[in-house]
Structures are given as C-alpha cells and as structure tokens.
Amino acid sequence: MIIDNLSVINLRKIKIFAESFCRNTNVITGKNGSGKTSILEAIFFISHAKSFRKKYSQALISNNQKELQIKIETDRSTVKGFYNKKRKVFYKNSEIIKKTSQLSEEILIVCMSPEEIDIIEEYNNEKQKYFDRIIFKIKKEHIKNIKDYKKLIVYRNTLLENKMETDPWDNKIMELGNKIWKIRKDFFKYFIKKYKEVEKKIEIKNRYEIKYISSVLEKQKYLIELRKKNKSNKTEVGPHKDKIKFFINGSEVKEHASQGEKKIFKYILKLTEAEILKKEKRTNPIVLIDDFFAKLDGENIMKIFSYFHCKFQTIITTTNTDNKILEKLKNKQTKIFTFND
C-alpha cells in the first residue's frame, strides 16, 4: 500500500495542505508548533476515524472553521473524510463507507508519536489495550470478545457489591475468558518471536524482553477461583488481570532504561507490528513516525532508518535540521520537504 497524494483543509493550524509522497521515506521538517504532527494526524484520522493524540477534541477543526476535509489517494483507492464536530463521513471512490471499521482495511497504518499514550509508563490495562488493538487488526472476533467480556465483568462486579448471586454470569465469563486467553497466548507467542527477529536485524546493543503473564485456568478451577470470597467485591481472576512486562538486560524498562533506550524499544515494537500486519494482511502498512530524531543518537537513527527504508512507505516528522543526518537520508531515495504553517 502506498499513499501517492494527501490534501488537508482546516485541520488544527493547517488551512490548506497538499503534497505528494515518494514510495520510500518522506521526511517533513519544520519548527515546533508548525503543524507537522497534524499531517500525520490527518492520515491516522482517515484510517481510524479518530486522532492518535491523548487529548483528542473538537480542536481538530481549525479556529472559526465549520468542517475539516481530508483526501488520500493511494495506489488502490481514493478515500475522503469530512468532520464538522457533530458527524464524520467517509467515502471510498465516491461510495460512502458505512462502518468506520472498514477504514483500516483501506489505509493500514502503524503510528508512533510522543502524543500517544506511553505504553512503558502507563498502567497494565493500557498495555493490554495496546496489544489488543494489534490483535483486532488481524482477528476481528477478538473485538467482540473483549467488549462482551468487559460488560459481563461490570455486571458481575455490581452483583458482588450488592451481595447478590453471580451464578448466571460466571459460566459466560469463563467461556469468554478462555477464548480471550487462547487468542492472547497465541498472539504473544507469535509477536515475541517476530520481535526478536526484528531486534536481531537492527543490531542494537541491548537486549529487550516482553513477558505476557496470564493465569489461564481449566473450567473447574476457573469457576472455583471466580467464586472465592474477597474483600474487594471485585472479580479478581480473568483476562483483565493479565500482566505484560518489559525488560532490558534483565531489569524492567520503566525503571532502568534511559530515554533513548525506551524510544528504541518502542520503535522495535512498532516495526514488529508492521511486519505482522504485512504478513497477515498481505499488504505493506504505512509507517508514521512523529519526531523521529528526538532522544536518539546518529548511529541508532541510521539503524532504525535502514530497517524500515525501502521496506515500508514511511512518513517522518522532525525539527532536526542536522545537515549531516539529512544529507545521509537524501542519498537514500528519500523525499525531504519543509513544512511551515
């Protein structure tokens, strides 16, 4: 999949933007606050019908404007999106897209930005969501399983708080819980194997490790654990209690890795996701990287760059105007342009 052209009207600071992209790496340079990130946000929005920013709001639309418009032309189709603070409408080749879930099938994106929720620093439920979102892209049934499971847990916890019987819900929770565990277990085995392959190819100095810790139980043990009395009056067993931990050279990344080491780890996570999507969806995802050069030295910049360049179409933003690095990139079939608001 390749984005050929992008046009944007009334997105945050961007009044009008139109640009073509090359098939390999595209580097957008510019000052802080110039609107570079909004270009990536436009691409993400038309793929997900939402922003990747933590603080997503109606501020997406430029001041004093009524509607934002985004149009992307790929090598497969033309997708348009319109948003007026009340309603989002999307079209593929002039035909309306009825379900926003179809958007990611049209424009497959892997995005990394400082504006996203930080998977290393956040609580465990955010780590679950991070990996579940990847699973959603390759196993659609996982979406429904997670949504139904969460609803059942809310119902069951309400019953517990009111000292009422939970039997009507226990078997349903157990069945869904085991389905979720099975999918997650298979996924993490696959993801960790692919992660190690990517890490090896990039040839970084440190060794990272991902651990998925679940309490998968057989039917009778699951029911026994569910029905154990506890002081919290909460459901204390099930997939919602799964833990995901990250390590660097045997120590936890959150506590012992430098900012640069954390960023490298996140890059490898994203590149692993891209490789999995490429294999499972049989098309190359588009990789978006916001503020690429920040917190990385020149050696690691080139290691990461060399991995994704010519493998995925990548669109990068940076405030870095280091001539030495940019000159290296120019010699590798990249398109580099400056964005000013």
In angstroms, the CA 195 to CA 180 distance is 22
- 1 and 313 Cβ atoms separated by less than 8 Å: yes
CATH fold, domain 124-252, is Glutathione S-transferase Yfyf (Class Pi); Chain A, domain 2 (1.20.1050)
Other Cβ atoms within 10 Å of 305 Cβ, number: 22
Query: Per residue in 237-256, pLDDT tens?
Result: 899 999 999 999 999 999 99
Please say if the pLDDT value at position 57 is more than 60. Answer: no
Q: DSSP letter string over 233-264?
A: -S--SSGGG-EEEEEETTEEHHHH--HHHHHH
Nearest CA to 238 among 228, 247, 248? 228
Nearest CA to 106 among 38, 46, 42? 46
0.85 cut: is pTM over it?
A: yes
Band (pLDDT 50/70/90 cuts) for residue 200 is: very high
Helix ranges, the chain (H): 36-48, 103-106, 124-138, 141-161, 167-202, 219-226, 253-256, 259-281, 298-308, 323-330
Band (pLDDT 50/70/90 cuts) for residue 21 is: very high
Q: What is the pLDDT of residue 55?
A: 64
Query: Per residue in 170-184, pLDDT tens?
Result: 889 999 999 999 999
Band (pLDDT 50/70/90 cuts) for residue 323 is: low
Residue type, 261: E
In angstroms, the CA 211 to CA 26 distance is 34
Phi, psi (degrees; rounded to nearest 5) at 54: -60, -40
Look at residue 187 and give its three-state secondary structure: helix
- 3 and 72 Cβ atoms separated by less than 8 Å: yes
Residue type, 272: T
Indicate the domain borders of the chain. 3-117+282-338, 124-252
Residue type, 166: T
Alpha-carbon dihedral of residues 99, 102, 107, 112, nearest 10 degrees?
Answer: 80
Q: What is the pLDDT of residue 103?
A: 84
Helices and strands (H, E) in the chain, number of each type: 10, 14
Residue type, 43: I
Domain 3-117+282-338 -> CATH class: alpha beta
Query: Per residue in 79-115, pLDDT tens?
Result: 999 998 888 999 999 899 888 888 888 889 999 988 8
Distance of CA 245 to the CA centre of its chain: 18
The CA distances from residue 294 to 101, 186, 260, 262, 322, in Å, are 33, 34, 8, 12, 12
In angstroms, the CA 287 to CA 313 distance is 6
Q: What is the pLDDT of residue 147?
A: 95
Band (pLDDT 50/70/90 cuts) for residue 233 is: confident
